Amino acid sequence: MERNDHPKVNSLIRINNYLTKKGLFNWMEDEMFLKMRYRVKLGTKLNLEKPQTFNEKMQWLKLYDRNPIYTKMVDKYEVKKLVSESIGDQYIIPTYGIWEKFEDICFDELPNQFVLKCTHDSGGVVIIKDKNSFDLKDAKRKINKSLSRNYYWEGREWPYKNVKPRIIAEKYMIDESDTELKDYKMMCFNGKMMCVFVCSERNLQSGLHITIYDREWNKMPFGRNHPASDLDIEKPKKLDRMIYLSEKFSADLPFLRVDLYEINGCIFFGELTLYPGSGFKEFIPESWDYELGSWLHLPTGDI
């Protein structure tokens, strides 16, 4: 039984998650909070003096790597400008509009299919496949709930603290399967793409699967919080270009995850992630937490 499958551990994590979302730990300084949260989520002491694992180094980067550009990189609207300026707007998923309040959205001006998402958090997404039949009240509830929270407090990912909460509508995209949009999450360590987390089967009853491949598209022998797919996921046609683009984005950064899509042979940009899983997700087996940690060389000297 994995640690997070143990009933008592799960209960403790749920309580901690609830108290965190309620803001009852907001009084804590970042370092104190991260040490507490790390102990609860991963069951071990956080070593910030000599971090070894990937998860430990994520916490170190939160505390000590304060590059101001990171705030724009995690803003789902502003990052499109950065990417467009870097590699061109042909990789950008079209944006239909941006608003500060749900009530300001003019649905009559939107196409039949689109995606609503919040610019300042993770998970504030509503997919509308038919504008004439979707649950407007439920969409409003979900979006307003996201607008009301500051994502920074949940994992002390400081770049999110000052992102302006807004709503954007994007073009609804689907890949060649005609049933889903696979995510290719390119894990870049000190500017080199080392492995790809492929997210698939979100729309199936079995739920999200994450399958991990190396640069040559060999399946890797570890996982995190979702099972690997039993399907044989085809190598993207533009994998070499995806690697090039992800390394271009991540140049001069200690770590960056670049999320890309491939649709009918064309590459589209998804988002940039600085701290996957907020650095609180177990590796299975645990040795891979150390392996990925060894790939990440932390900055030295003044940050």
- Residue 124: its pLDDT value, please? 82
Number of separate domains in the chain: 3
- Residue 10: its pLDDT value, please? 85
Residues 103 and 82 in one domain: no
Residues 258 and 219 in one domain: yes
Count of other CB atoms within 10 angstroms of residue 44: 13
- Residue 303: its pLDDT value, please? 46
Assigned token pair, 198: 């492929």
- Residue 225: its pLDDT value, please? 85
CB-based contacts of 139: which residues, under 8 Å, 6+ apart?
102, 116, 126, 128
- Residue 1: its pLDDT value, please? 47
Domain of residue 17, residue span = 3-46
Residues 11 and 127 in one domain: no
* 77 neighbors 168 (Cβ within 8 angstroms): yes
- Residue 269: its pLDDT value, please? 96
Instruction: Answer whether residue 303 is part of any domain.
Output: no
CA distance 95 to 52: 40
- Residue 252: its pLDDT value, please? 92
- Residue 5: its pLDDT value, please? 64
Q: Residue ranges of the chain with pLDDT lower than 70?
A: 1-6, 178, 204-206, 301-303
- Residue 180: its pLDDT value, please? 77
